[in-house]
Chain A
Amino acid sequence: MGESDIDRRAFIKQLGLIGQGSLMLSALPWLEGFAADKQKELKGEKAKIAIIGTGSRGLYHINNMLSMSNADIVALCDIYPPHLEDAAALCPKAKKYTDYREVLASTDVEGVLIACPLHMHAPITIDALNAGKHVFCEKSMARTPEQCKAMYDTYKMTGKVLYIGQQRLFDLKYIKALEMVHSGKIGEVVGIRNFWFRNNDWRRPVPEPSLERQINWRLYKEYSGGLMTELATHQLQIGTWALKRIPDYIMGSGDIVFWKDGREVYDNVNVIYHYSNGVKMTFESIISNKRYGMDEQILGHTGTLELAMGKYYPEEPKQAPGIQQFINQIEHKAFDNISIAGPSWVPETASENKGEFVVDNVKTHDGSNTTGAVGDGSIELVSSFCDSVISGKPIPVLVEEAYYSSILALLGLQAMEEHKILAFPEEYKIPYLNHA
């Protein structure tokens, strides 16, 4: 039994503890595969997986999968030889490919895990689903809204398994926090704030100039939507998950403020998503200052959740025991000075309420790791994909959530590029949530 299996067992155990076991699973249908009876059915079987794209994120998944008892990496594919060799060193028995179509033609492969640059997500995913393979594709879904819709339509048409790398859906602290939102613990949700701050140029070393666009694909519009598709998609999903609706208007502003190094994508963005009930969700990202790190904050009228930190802050902190309040009041009346005049205006700086953790043993990260963090749900997500490959059954909700988070990111990008307030386009609505 590998480390990932231990993580997974701990996840199932904690999932049972934070909710009421099966009751919790019924409210989170994408986690049904973790139910004890489903696990029993799949015991001992392995999914034959091909990894397409063996760069940093691909290697992260490979490392995790090597210690999963339900995964067998049978093929590796990448057009960049050094990356392919790095992966082959970890999986010496896997066949090596440089053309993904050859992978899809192989009868040994049951599922593919796609971790290549964004502009290739849609063509490979669509070809793979049409070839009868189950697919795990990293987020964002695709480079354009049209491609996202085409991926979604192909998924529905083929009936094959499709997973998108929205690991927050498998992260315990997020699951518990959203359960608190839906149970009314923080009251009515009145705002959502997402931010991701870093201080680095987002560049990777390039061995020769001709490989610049291939390696630093995140910096060029042809391949990437920059901060929106690489970072915002993770966080924008929180809006759909928490509010169970999609926004009606999107507006924003983006610029290259600091890293004027020939890149085409913004290094400084600010986007607002407006919902029909008046609630706004914001996304802000600057990659030349890291003071505030990253987080998603759900603001309710009786409490606030900081999702990445796994913390809950009630608006009114839990009051002291009655007897202590009584003694304090007597003490104040006896010894406090009588105020003659106080300040007419008090600056409302943040309270020093330390809050409380939503689950035990919260694992957090500062967002500086671009390939994956410990305990962020990635292992559980990929393991669940392997289970689905074995069973051949798609899971509900995940693709729909991922679809809307990708569309929101791309619409935010479009609003910034066109300097317009965009209404959510009808053609990109799917039968889910408030458009079911």
Chain B
Amino acid sequence: MKDIVITGKRLRLEGLIFTGCFIVAFLLNVFSIVFYKTEWKELYTQLLWVICLSCLIYFLFLVLRLLYFFLKRIFVAIRNL
């Protein structure tokens, strides 16, 4: 069986992407608090929701990245024909 190697560079990149997703989710929470006029303590009481939202955004971004990766491969293969 072939080993899957995750390089340190890849880990750092994925970490950075997840951090970006977390910041987006956190900012959405801030927006929601302001928009719906709810309590500021939700900045920490709703962290579980923020983390779930971060994972969702990360997953959606992953789908887009995979799509980009496969399309790119298809285009390269066509060009090399």
| B contact residues around A321 at 8 Å (CB) | 32, 38, 42, 45-46, 49
Interface size on B, residues (CB 8 A): 15
Q: How far is the CB of B38 from chain A (nearest CB, A)?
A: 4
A277: interface (CB < 8 Å): no
B45 touches A326 (CB 8 A): no
A residues 315-332 in Cβ contact with B at 8 Å: 319, 321-327
The CA of A324 and the CA of B45, in the complex, are separated in Å by 12
Q: How far is the CB of A328 from chain B (nearest CB, A)?
A: 10
The CA of A413 and the CA of B45, in the complex, are separated in Å by 55
B69: interface (CB < 8 Å): no
A319 touches B28 (CB 8 A): no
A323 touches B50 (CB 8 A): yes
The CA of A323 and the CA of B29, in the complex, are separated in Å by 5
| B contact residues around A326 at 8 Å (CB) | 28, 31-32, 35-36
A321, A323, A324, A327: most-surrounded residue (chain B CB, <10 A):
A323
The CA of A257 and the CA of B38, in the complex, are separated in Å by 53
Closest to B32 in A: A322
A322 touches B53 (CB 8 A): no
Closest to B33 in A: A322
| A contact residues around B38 at 8 Å (CB) | 319, 321-322, 325
| A contact residues around B50 at 8 Å (CB) | 323
The CA of A324 and the CA of B36, in the complex, are separated in Å by 10
The CA of A187 and the CA of B80, in the complex, are separated in Å by 76
B29, B36, B42: most-surrounded residue (chain A CB, <10 A):
B36
Between-chain CB contacts (< 8 Å), 22 pairs: A319-B38, A321-B38, A321-B42, A321-B45, A322-B33, A322-B35, A322-B36, A322-B38, A322-B42, A323-B29, A323-B32, A323-B33, A323-B42, A323-B49, A323-B50, A323-B53, A324-B46, A325-B36, A325-B38, A326-B28, A326-B35, A327-B49
